[in-house]
Structure 1
Amino acid sequence: MKLYISRITLGIFLLSAQFIFAQNLSKSQFTVKGNCEMCKERIETTAKKAGAKEARYSIDSQTLTLETDTHTSTDDILKKVAEAGHDNEKYKATDATYEALPGCCHYDRDLQMSVAENHDHHSKKENEFYVKGNCKSCKARIEKAAKDAGADSAEWSAEKQMVTLNFDPKKTSSDKILKKIADVGHDNEKYKSSDNTYKNLPACCLYDREIPFGEANPKVHLEEGTTAEHTDHIDHNAANENHEDHEKSIESVTVSGTKGSTVLSKKDAGLVFNIDKKELLKAACCNLSESFETNATVDVSFSNAVTGTKQLKMLGLDQKYTSLTKELLPEIRGLASAYGLNFIPGRWIESIQLTKGGSTVTNGYESITGQINTELLKNAEKPETSLNLFSDFNGRAEANITSVAPINDKWSQTFLLHGNGTFGDTDMNDDGFLDRPKGTQLNAAYLLNYNDLEKSGLGSHFGINFIKDERTSGQIGFDKKIPQDKQSLYGVGIDILRFQVWNKTGYVFKGKPYQSLGWMNQYTYHQQDSFFGLRNYSGKQQTYYSNLIFESILGNTNHKYKAGASFMYDGYDETYLTTNFKRNEIVPGAFAEYTLTGLKYTLVAGARVDFHNLAGTQFTPRLNFKYDFTPQTILRLSAGRGFRTANIFAESQQYFASNRNIQILQNGGNIYGLKPEIAWNYGASLQQEFKIFGRKSTIIADFFRTDFQDQVMVDLDRSPQQLTFYNLEGKSFANSFQTQWDFTPFKNFDVRLAYKYYDVQADYLDGRREVPFMAKHRGFVNLAYSTNKNNKGGFWSFDTTLNLVGKQRLPDTSSNPEEFQLPTYSQSYAILNAQISRNFNKKIRAYLGGENLTSYYQKNAIVDFKNPFGNYFDGGMVYAPIMKANFYIGLDVTF
């Protein structure tokens, strides 16, 4: 019996001790700078060694949560964290310690994190606000809304009709929290809920709305759009001067600054530019082809004078050598090559990732000059519907409706709808031909997203897209309803039907945030029926793509790897004139990629092998290397191989509006009798950041060379009446040099200057020549200025872009009669675009702009335009705009 009593006594003593100990633990949260999983591990380990009972670091929120007992000083812990290399709200790491961190751990130090360095202050404080409600359901709804808006804790009292908030002003604001509370149906001292939202509350929650509230007096204001990475300065007003009194805190803090709309990633080993939707608002940006007007890396070219399409060029080579993806799935390729850029409306785009040079092997084998990936709108904390209306002064109009809304805490959905029409007869050069086609497009998409990564580790994304595009071009007065051989006017008709469905599902292993499994699948159906005068071209493509990726580490996060398998099926059925071309491409493949992160360098080495049923087995290695001499001086090197099968008809439609005969010089290959295209790409770039005018400035210089091992030559020089395809015999290369300088002379004024030099040559059958329609010299100037926001959130924005294009070699037309001959080289020219926009508040934006304000246009865009059925007619000799200045207006409304 004594033994049992002793055991019970001991148990009670131990439980009491544990309870007392637990009661003496305190929990606190601090801002600490870090970048990656290595930072997280270092910060948490250091904190625990310094005496913390528990330490949890969040990379996303840049916060360290500590549990300590009464004998442990959080000051001592934060000091040790700083000594380990991580700036925090109380202590700053030495420059030497910071620079000794691995390259992936170099966070941006521009934003200073304390009022007085190395002194205590409390950035978190409790605030009380009047909020209307009735019952326990109201309480749960109000507190959840507050936490969803960023509050660390929220306590609502029905008796006081008041909510007590605890939040970090660096992450959110009382305005944001109270607006969120109003959005779910509860009037408060700053915002009133809409009548519909209030009426939809349960009957028990319908409170009295007649009682007025008092005025709010927020003590912390964080200006919208500011991020730590791109903040220029902090103004501290009425800051606490007595550092011995820890109960006092910052009275007022205004953080000002702007996030760059185009940012070069400092973490990636490759040269990757992240373009967000703010950049896209600087120009008309009706579709993806116009999304790069303010970007110096991509050249937008005019493909012909009849169909009005635009094409992209990168590193001195045509668009077909760049991998164009949507949601990291193959998008603009195959039969969509000519018109696919028109199928992604600008208002649908959330962001664009542009990679110059060799990209990752996990995304396929077709990338040679780089990759452009488009992400669609699919992220929103609250329901948001936007309407965009656009019209230019030459008969083009379009409308976009986007709606992004969370269904619950795991599911969200996006509706995207686009329609456009061109109705006017535009002929600015008086040649009797439309400068751009007339027609309509209907484009609709639905996205469904599931995200439960934090709990179950599972996430999934589903999408479906339907497009119907019809366009008519040619001579003014041409009637598409009448067969071409029944009328004398020359016409072009293009009808496209496109359908896509895709899914991406990922799983993050529990307790292993570095280990994941992802599976992507997509089906695409594309059909085009078209005619160019008396020539017809039709094509049908069905594509199925699947990609399985496993990602993990070897020992620690310094050694990461990806491995997986892919499958691509392309079924083509094309008819040109009376000749039918059918083929099925079946390509299973496997790949692996290893990432090594060292003290100042990152190495990404990958390779894939693909078993192409028509092109044979293809091995594709790629390498990217980044070395940080300092956090401001970064060197990148890259090398890689890519291969693709040429779709000679779909990719050359700009030359169909002519009377050129097509000739294919076959050499025994299995695709139109031709071999696949294979090329190596090598690149080097240097990124340098420095301060000028007291603000951040960046200069980037890069050089890339592309060497073709095999290439399908598109020869326009053998005869002006002939278009000849054949495989390369000899050399073909493209040298690209670009330097770009981004800087901010004064607040809200951004300047981007760039110069590009291209040397693109190939060995044609009759000797080495410069590739036509490629200017050796290009200049670029982009200026952007915005005014400060007024009390209602309104401001003005002014954007202008100047493109200087040097002379280009034109195809040989010397055998034509003199009046139908073109010069050997084109003239140099300049294009000026500008836009003025007015944000009246966060909901309404209006804009007015002009394109090609210099009104330079190609006067001889169509050779022998008076005789479109004659031997010398050619609408594909376009090197410049064919339209003079064009003005447009638009309106954006967010609900």
Structure 2
Amino acid sequence: MKLYISRLILGTLFLFTQFIFAQDLSKNQFKVKGNCEMCKTRIEGAAKKAGAKTAVYSIDLQTLTLEPGDQASADEILKKVAEAGHDNEKYKAPNETYEGLPGCCHYDRDLQPAATEVHEHHTHKKENEFYVKGNCISCKTRIEKAAKEAGANSADWNAETQTVTLNFDSSKTSSDKILKKIADVGHDNEKYKAADDVYKNLPGCCLYDRDSAFSEVNPSVHHEEGTKHEEQQTPPNAESHSQHEKKIDGVVVTGSKAATSLNKKEAGLVFNIDKKELLKAACCNLSESFETNATVDVSFSNAVTGTKQLKMLGLDQKYTSLTKEQLPEIRGLASAYGLNFIPGRWIESIQLTKGGSTVTNGYESITGQINTELLKNAKTPETSLNLFSDFNGRAEANITSVAPINDKWSQTFLLHGNGTFGNTDMNHDGFLDRPKGTQINAAYLLNYNDLEKSGFGSHFGINFIRDERTAGQIGFDKKLAQDKQPAYGVGIDISRFQVWNKTGYVFQGKPYQSIGWMNQYVYHQQDSFFGLRNYNGKQHTYYSNLIFESIIGNTNHKYKAGASFLYDGYEETYLTDNIKRNEIVPGIFAEYTLTGLKYTLVAGTRVDFHNLAGTQFTPRLNFKYDFTPQTILRLSAGRGFRTANVFAESQQYFASNRAVTIIPNGGDIYGLKPEIAWNYGASLQQEFKLFGRKSSIIADFFRTDFQDQVLVDLDKSPQQLTFYNLDGKSFANSFQTQWDFTPFKNFDVRLAYKYYDVQADYIGGRREVPFMAKHRGFVNLAYATNKNDKGGFWSFDTTLNWVGKQRLPDTSSNPAEFQLPAYSNSYAVLNAQISRNFNKKIRAYVGGENLTSYYQKNAIVDFRNPFGNYFDGGMVYAPIMKANFYVGLDVTF
């Protein structure tokens, strides 16, 4: 039956692909004027009614791509399009028809091609330029019409620079009168603010952001002509906002974009984290990149190796797809320490998706996806140096250089080095609270971009990492043989090499149609020991993904289709056992996107033919509905599967004397079956005004149900680590609400509360999954001072995480002195940072982590006898270090 279904799916997808590629690609393209989705519908409808086989209108390019039918020529079709109200390169619409179009469809009939070109932001505006808010062509028409009605001879509004250029006779009118008239029709400007009721009655496409800075230079104040603007606009927190600046007679105008923002266009719940957000804390690597983010939970997983792990939607990191440049990154043997291999200063942006992600990125995502983009975009050469040191012997240095080679090629050099040299033992148990060692990490990126002319673009990357760590008791000497060591030690040596390429082509004349091919090879080797326990592993991975994207009829109906291939070659040695396996996974996928005026639906499915786990069917669905532009509902559902790497993913428990036991269940990977889970989610986003400023609340609920799971049982015995397949139910309920608001200029507040209910049917019965607090609270505050004449300013950031009690593994069979309570205490961790930007080139910062100094005093069970039966360094639920302070310096050349 499974074979029949697989063949049926393959056949259907094959026929579908044949149908798509069999279409005639030699269609005609014509210039046609239009503004919005209503224009698009009208133009395509008129073309098809006139006899076109297909008609696709691009609002951005102002082009209509036609495939004329047998009974109609392109000339006849364009004539009908003009009769429907849309000027084109052959026919002009009748005036009465144009005037009868809805207001949002009134395109600019006099627009010259040069006026549509994209310009860079101007640092200084000209004397006859004034800042006016707007969004689209409809705004342009309305602004220019109002200006002319107020006496301007001519007016040209530029959406990119948000300026209107006026030509008027000062003896007949004034700029003040013209700007007042522009405000009267709904557009904030540097002198006048539009009435709220007028603004709210603008078409939805015209509702610009009223919170950006130049509308607040003189909010709701009517100035007499000639009044001088002397108030200086305060910049938003420059470390949490991307900015561009303009100057008005000494007035600094700053437009800003939130450093962490929810993508309102995506059907899924996708957060975009800007690199500015990462500067708000000591972001030395990816594991520390989410300190100011409420969605991801970061925790220590081991009291000996000092590693950190991420959790999302109440489940461990392994259930989240962690990618770099949209390529698989932290998985397999890299699961335990891979977060340390992406330096924070290398990161350009992070995209965080809650719930099932797109099927084009693979089948492993269950709770979501975290994708990291590296630095690779710069219009001018830029080299930066970052130096960091804390007060406990940790030092880091980063050098990043991004530079264009010519108008098509650019390159990026990335170099990172870190070292931990001090013996840190804050709880006085004789064990290092974090390992000592060094890391060298280097990468080179080469980018080619000729999409506008030839349609081609390509990205190449290569990365090498060498990481060596030593942990354990302070007296441990790594140079001595293990069997001659009087002290307990841990050694971890990792070498990693990867090379990747992404190449894409956009079909000429068809901006909606493209093909992309991604390839990556990874070699990862780890040699490690934990006391007398050895664990070594090698991994070879090759990944390839081919994606074709186009439309069906028009851009309201988009689709992606493609094929992927994954090869994982593993060789592991644990104690005396040598375990080898090769996983070979070809797959195919298809995804359809339907876009309406208020909704977006993304439905996708993929079929993967795993040589060890069998054929796997992975459907996913995301739906977004905009009740209003400020009220958005999202729904999602999907399936994911993965193969468990039980040794690599459980290394936090190797620093103990637990015996590892695997109870086989007929599977081909460690005798275990693959993990399969369904994830369902719903979220509601609401934006509103508070204190006259933009505020937003988002609440979401996700549930994950495991169809099969590899359980890690720590309760069966304190002396055992047991793996087996689920027999019963396992689920995770996650609820989160987050509120972002700005009580006054430059002061941003983020509040969040999270509730988790995570349970599973273990051999001993249903229990809460350990080390997962049911209740969590989060507060982040960010403030920046005004910029001075040199662009310098202060910024202050602080984050408070409150973690409720957590269930701890059962240790009741241990002697009383080695028993842990059933539940941990709740605790709070406070981090803070103060930074000083002296100008655009130099920044210094100082901060502190865990300023509450709460730490787990009994982090290691029976630490006095590390070779005894009760020794366990994996029972960690809280920080193991007290307050730690750091300083840093950023210099840009």
Q: Same fold (TM over 0.5)?
A: yes
SS state of the match for residue 819, structure 1? Answer: helix
Structure 1 equivalent of residue 147 of structure 2: 120
Question: Does the alignment pair 1:686 with 2:690?
Answer: no
Q: For residue 301 of structure 1, report the CA deviation from its aligned partner.
A: 1.1
After TM superposition, the score normalised by the length of structure 2 is 0.78
Structure 1 equivalent of residue 331 of structure 2: 333
What whole-Å deviation, never above 9, does each CA across 1:140-168 have from its counterpart, x for those lacking one? xxxxxxxxxxxxxxxxxxxxxxxxxx996
Structure 1 equivalent of residue 466 of structure 2: 468
Equivalent residues of 1:240, 1:251 under 8 A apart: no
Of 95, 104, 116 in structure 2, the residue corresponding to residue 83 of structure 1 is 104
Query: What is the correspondence of 1:60-139 to structure 2 with a 5 Å cutoff?
Result: 82-84=103-105, 119-120=146-147
Q: 1:117 and 1:455, CA in 2 relative to 1: closer, same or farther beyond 3 A? A: closer
What is the alpha-carbon distance in structure 2 between the residues aligned to residue 118 and residue 574 of structure 1? 73
Question: Does the alignment pair 1:171 with 2:169?
Answer: no
Query: What is the correspondence of 1:433-512 to structure 2 with a 5 Å cutoff?
Result: 433-512=431-510
Q: 1:519 and 1:853, CA in 2 relative to 1: closer, same or farther beyond 3 A? A: same
Q: For residue 229 of structure 1, report the CA deviation from its aligned partner.
A: 8.7
Structure 2 equivalent of residue 655 of structure 1: 653
Equivalent residues of 2:190, 2:217 under 8 A apart: no
Structure 2 equivalent of residue 425 of structure 1: 423
SS state of the match for residue 649, structure 2? Answer: helix
What whole-Å deviation, never above 9, does each CA across 1:503-540 have from its counterpart, x for those lacking one? 00000000000000000000000000000000000000
- Structure 2: 5+ residue runs without aligned partners? 1-32, 48-56, 63-86, 112-133, 164-188, 192-207, 227-246
What is the alpha-carbon distance in structure 2 between the residues aligned to residue 863 and residue 377 of structure 1? 43
What is the alpha-carbon distance in structure 2 between the residues aligned to residue 234 and residue 539 of structure 1? 59
What whole-Å deviation, never above 9, does each CA across 1:360-417 have from its counterpart, x for those lacking one? 0000000000000000000001000000000000000000000000000000000000
What whole-Å deviation, never above 9, does each CA across 1:28-61 have from its counterpart, x for those lacking one? xx9x997xxx589579999x9xxxxxx997589x
What is the alpha-carbon distance in structure 2 between the residues aligned to residue 81 and residue 234 of structure 1? 28
Q: 1:337 and 1:45, CA in 2 relative to 1: closer, same or farther beyond 3 A? A: same
Of 580, 589, 594 in structure 1, the residue corresponding to residue 587 of structure 2 is 589
Q: For residue 477 of structure 1, report the CA deviation from its aligned partner.
A: 2.0
Equivalent residues of 2:211, 2:693 under 8 A apart: no
* AA at the equivalent of 2:669: I
SS state of the match for residue 258, structure 2? Answer: coil
SS state of the match for residue 120, structure 1? Answer: helix
Query: What is the correspondence of 1:819-838 to structure 2 with a 5 Å cutoff?
Result: 819-838=817-836
What is the alpha-carbon distance in structure 1 between the residues aligned to residue 666 and residue 332 of structure 2? 21
- Structure 1: 5+ residue runs without aligned partners? 1-29, 49-54, 61-65, 91-106, 126-165, 174-218, 222-226, 243-249
Structure 2 equivalent of residue 271 of structure 1: 269
Q: For residue 852 of structure 1, report the CA deviation from its aligned partner.
A: 0.2
Q: 1:68 and 1:89, CA in 2 relative to 1: closer, same or farther beyond 3 A? A: closer
What is the alpha-carbon distance in structure 1 between the residues aligned to residue 366 and residue 690 of structure 2? 36
Q: For residue 169 of structure 1, report the CA deviation from its aligned partner.
A: 9.2
Structure 2 equivalent of residue 710 of structure 1: 708
What is the alpha-carbon distance in structure 2 between the residues aligned to residue 507 and residue 41 of structure 1? 25
* AA at the equivalent of 1:231: S
Query: What is the correspondence of 1:562-641 to structure 2 with a 5 Å cutoff?
Result: 562-641=560-639
SS state of the match for residue 257, structure 2? Answer: coil
Of 520, 523, 541 in structure 2, the residue corresponding to residue 522 of structure 1 is 520
What is the alpha-carbon distance in structure 2 between the residues aligned to residue 321 and residue 604 of structure 1? 22
Equivalent residues of 2:39, 2:105 under 8 A apart: no
Q: For residue 256 of structure 1, report the CA deviation from its aligned partner.
A: 3.5
What is the alpha-carbon distance in structure 1 between the residues aligned to residue 95 and residue 308 of structure 2? 60
Of 203, 212, 215 in structure 2, the residue corresponding to residue 231 of structure 1 is 212
What is the alpha-carbon distance in structure 2 between the residues aligned to residue 672 and residue 526 of structure 1? 20
Structure 1 equivalent of residue 729 of structure 2: 731
* AA at the equivalent of 1:84: C
Structure 2 equivalent of residue 205 of structure 1: none
* AA at the equivalent of 2:104: E
What is the alpha-carbon distance in structure 1 between the residues aligned to residue 94 and residue 486 of structure 2? 90
What is the alpha-carbon distance in structure 1 between the residues aligned to residue 391 and residue 320 of structure 2? 33
Q: 1:494 and 1:701, CA in 2 relative to 1: closer, same or farther beyond 3 A? A: same
Report the more deviating stretch, 756-765 or 232-241. 232-241
Equivalent residues of 1:570, 1:584 under 8 A apart: yes
* AA at the equivalent of 1:784: A
Q: 1:863 and 1:893, CA in 2 relative to 1: closer, same or farther beyond 3 A? A: same
SS state of the match for residue 388, structure 1? Answer: strand
What whole-Å deviation, never above 9, does each CA across 1:469-514 have from its counterpart, x for those lacking one? 0000000021111112112110000000000000000000000000
Q: 1:56 and 1:628, CA in 2 relative to 1: closer, same or farther beyond 3 A? A: closer
Query: What is the correspondence of 1:782-861 to structure 2 with a 5 Å cutoff?
Result: 782-861=780-859
Structure 2 equivalent of residue 883 of structure 1: 881
Equivalent residues of 1:88, 1:113 under 8 A apart: no
What whole-Å deviation, never above 9, does each CA across 1:646-699 have from its counterpart, x for those lacking one? 000000000000000000001111000000000000000000111111111110
* AA at the equivalent of 2:649: E
Q: For residue 120 of structure 1, report the CA deviation from its aligned partner.
A: 2.0
* AA at the equivalent of 1:373: N
After TM superposition, the score normalised by the length of structure 1 is 0.78
Q: For residue 598 of structure 1, report the CA deviation from its aligned partner.
A: 1.4
* AA at the equivalent of 2:147: D
Q: For residue 600 of structure 1, report the CA deviation from its aligned partner.
A: 1.1
What whole-Å deviation, never above 9, does each CA across 1:779-819 have from its counterpart, x for those lacking one? 00000111121111111111000000000000000000000
Q: For residue 258 of structure 1, report the CA deviation from its aligned partner.
A: 2.3
Equivalent residues of 1:89, 1:113 under 8 A apart: no
RMSD: 3.6
SS state of the match for residue 826, structure 1? Answer: coil
Structure 2 equivalent of residue 261 of structure 1: 259
Q: For residue 760 of structure 1, report the CA deviation from its aligned partner.
A: 0.2
Structure 2 equivalent of residue 870 of structure 1: 868
Equivalent residues of 1:775, 1:808 under 8 A apart: yes
What is the alpha-carbon distance in structure 2 between the residues aligned to residue 78 and residue 374 of structure 1? 48
SS state of the match for residue 408, structure 1? Answer: coil
Equivalent residues of 2:492, 2:527 under 8 A apart: yes
Structure 1 equivalent of residue 125 of structure 2: none
SS state of the match for residue 234, structure 1? Answer: helix
Equivalent residues of 2:140, 2:158 under 8 A apart: no
What is the alpha-carbon distance in structure 1 between the residues aligned to residue 303 and residue 38 of structure 2? 55
Q: For residue 259 of structure 1, report the CA deviation from its aligned partner.
A: 1.2
What whole-Å deviation, never above 9, does each CA across 1:698-733 have from its counterpart, x for those lacking one? 100000000000000100001000000000000000
What is the alpha-carbon distance in structure 1 between the residues aligned to residue 287 and residue 321 of structure 2? 14
What is the alpha-carbon distance in structure 1 between the residues aligned to residue 674 and residue 312 of structure 2? 20
Structure 1 equivalent of residue 241 of structure 2: none
Equivalent residues of 2:780, 2:799 under 8 A apart: yes
What is the alpha-carbon distance in structure 2 between the residues aligned to residue 335 and residue 40 of structure 1? 53
What is the alpha-carbon distance in structure 2 between the residues aligned to residue 293 and residue 855 of structure 1? 17
